[in-house]
Structures are given as structure tokens and as C-alpha cells.
Amino acid sequence: MKRSARWQILGLAVLVGSCAPTTATTQKIPLPPQRLFQAGYSLLPPNEEGWEVSQRDRVLLALGKHGSNRNEIAIIWGALFKLQPFKSDDEFVRLVRDSREKDSDPRRFRVVKRDVTSYPGKGTTCAYSHEVLEDNPALTESGNRVDMIREMFGLTCAHTTNKQIGVTVNYSQRYYTGQRDPQLQHRATSVLTSVEFSAL
């Protein structure tokens, strides 16, 4: 995450009165999973073994799961952030697209695909994004650098009660070329469609 985005999120944590510390150790998601409630939003984790909470406070949520191949990992990431003013769905989509472009370092990632479209059905203005990036080279847990693919599905919305606050939930997976999970989009969709809004 870039420093500017991190500071925006940290500032918003103070704004919504976050007082709980971020979890320092991982915590396994029990099965069947229960809905995870954050400040302003909630989601239902996948009903799969292996998911763990790696970071959590009232604003930020990060879940992770290692893949079957070494260095492959799936991540679910959610957060609140300060949202720039917008006047239409098209302008909101443009803001999300611009943000996605700024968050991917062109010296490291080559964009294979980046689609951002309006997403109806959540009772507020939302955008759905799908990105495929070549990570050249990705730093692995073993300390080696190898070429991998990072594919991400995201839902970004203006909060239903305060259009100055955005909610973003992303499902991403890093995998080796040719080793894409054929159920990846289905898994991501099940998480993104589970997103609900609540009091800030």
C-alpha cells in the first residue's frame, strides 16, 4: 500500500474512533465461517479450510490463505478510506480506475488486464474491478524472486450513510503462470457479493 493511502486510512481510523489494536498474530477462521463485522461494513469469509486473519482492527481487515503450490497465496483485504467528491456513477468509476492505476508500480507490474465498471445492487454507488498483473519479479517467502501473476477482483463503494467515506473489499490471488485456479472468479464473487454496510 502506498504511503499516502496508508495515511488516509490511518486518519480515517481516528475519525471513526478506532480503539482496538491490530491483531499481532494470525487467527484461523473457524468453519462454518461467521460474518466478520468491521466499522461500516461486514463480509462473510469463504467456507474453506486454511483462511486466517492476518491483520484486523475496526477499519482494516486482511485474511490470507496459502495455495497448494509454494509461494501462491490468496488474500482478502477490506478497508475504509476518504472518498473524493463525485457527481455520477461514471465519475465514481473513473476515480476507482485512477486509484487502481496509481497503486500498481509500473517498474514491477505489467498490466495484462484492468477493467473497472459500475456495479449496481448494493443500494449505493459502487464499482467492480478486475485486474491481472504480471509481478516481475515477485519476492517469495524463501527470499527468491520469481515471475508470478497477481489477479484481483474488487468492490469499491460509497458508504450508504456517508458518501465521503468509501468501502473497498478485494479478493486477490498470486499464482504461477499457467496455474490459475479455475474457480478463482467464483470464489472472489462469493466474498464480494456478501459485503453489507453497517453503522460507521
CA–CA distance, 80 with 9 (Å, rounded to integer)? 6
Question: Can you give the residue ranges of every domain in the chain?
Answer: 3-18+34-197
**18 confidence band (pLDDT: 50, 70, 90):** very low
Grid cell 453503522 in the structure block, residue? 199
pLDDT for residue 19 is more than 60: no
Q: What is the mean pLDDT of residues 151-173?
A: 97
pLDDT for residue 198 is more than 80: yes
Q: Closest Cα to residue 16, out of 127, 159, 126, 192? A: 159
- Counting residues of the chain whose pLDDT is more than 90, the rounded percentage is 71
CA–CA distance, 155 with 161 (Å, rounded to integer)? 17
pLDDT in tens, 102-151: 887 788 888 999 999 999 999 999 999 999 999 876 666 666 667 889 99
Classify 110 in phi/psi space as left (phi over 0), alpha (psi -120 to 50) or beta.
beta
CA–CA distance, 194 with 45 (Å, rounded to integer)? 9
CATH number for 3-18+34-197: choose from 3.30.1330.200, 3.30.70.270, 2.30.30.60, 3.40.1000.10: 3.40.1000.10
Ranking 13-17, 23-27, 35-39, 86-90 by mean pLDDT, the lowest is: 13-17
pLDDT for residue 14 is more than 60: no
The pTM score is: 0.84
The predicted pLDDT at position 104 comes to 77
Written as nine digits, the cell of 69 is: 503450490
pLDDT for residue 60 is more than 60: yes
How deeply is 142 buried, as exposed, middle or buried, from its count of CB atoms within 10 A (0-12, 13-18, 19+)?
exposed
